[in-house]
């Protein structure tokens, strides 16, 4: 259970994966959650993605 969003971790992961190819409104409607909740999940994921990008850039200097 992911208590930050009051849903299962599996649903949080599904929302993150679906966001790559679908709009926020469509994901929210399919998962029966508010669109703001979907946006919060994606916003909280951005620092993780940027830190991974920095690590990758540091490993492969141009």
Of all residues in the chain, what percent carry a pLDDT higher than 70? 74
Report field, pTM of the whole predicted structure over 0.75:
no
| pLDDT tens digits for range 31-41 | 999 999 999 99
∠ CA 53-56-61, nearest 5°, is 120
Tell me the domain boundaries of the chain.
Answer: 9-56
Nearest to 20 by CA among 45, 37, 1: 45
pLDDT confidence of residue 45: 82
pLDDT number for residue 22: 94
């Amino acid at each position: 259970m992911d208590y930050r969003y009051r849903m299962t971790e599996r649903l949080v992961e599904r929302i993150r994966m679906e966001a790559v190819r679908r709009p926020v409104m469509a994901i929210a409607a399919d998962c029966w959650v508010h669109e703001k909740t979907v946006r919060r999940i994606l916003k909280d994921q951005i620092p993780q993605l940027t830190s991974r990008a920095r690590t990758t850039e540091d490993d492969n200097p141009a």
